[in-house]
Amino acid sequence: MRIGGDLTLGSSTAPVTFTVESLDVSGDAATFVATTSVDRRSLGVAKLPGLIIGHSVAVRVAGTATRT
């Protein structure tokens, strides 16, 4: 399953598509893990003094939603 949206870092926003790696629904709760990669330059992070890092950065989001 894929989910599209926008990722905002500071004042910069870039479109992203997350791939849902896991989804578990049990009772009134749902837990998930989704991943994507983003080119950090598209979010305004061009230079990182003192660090050597590639342009592509992995993003992993894990969460739980509970029905109330």
What's the pLDDT tens digit per position in 37-66? 998 888 887 776 666 777 888 999 999 999
Per-residue pLDDT at 50 = 60
For the chain, give every domain's residue range. Answer: 2-66
**Cα(26)–Cα(62) distance, rounded to whole angstroms?**
16
Query: Taking residues 28-43, what's their average pLDDT?
Result: 92
Calculate the alpha carbon distances from 54 to 22, 40, 49, 58 in Å. Answer: 27, 9, 13, 10
Sign for the pseudo-dihedral over CA of 4, 2, 61, 49: negative
Task: Between 17 and 55, name the one with better pLDDT.
Answer: 17
Query: What percent of the chain shows pLDDT beyond 70?
Result: 94
Q: How many residues does the chain have?
A: 68
The pTM is what? Answer: 0.76
Residue 30 pLDDT greater than 90, yes or no: yes
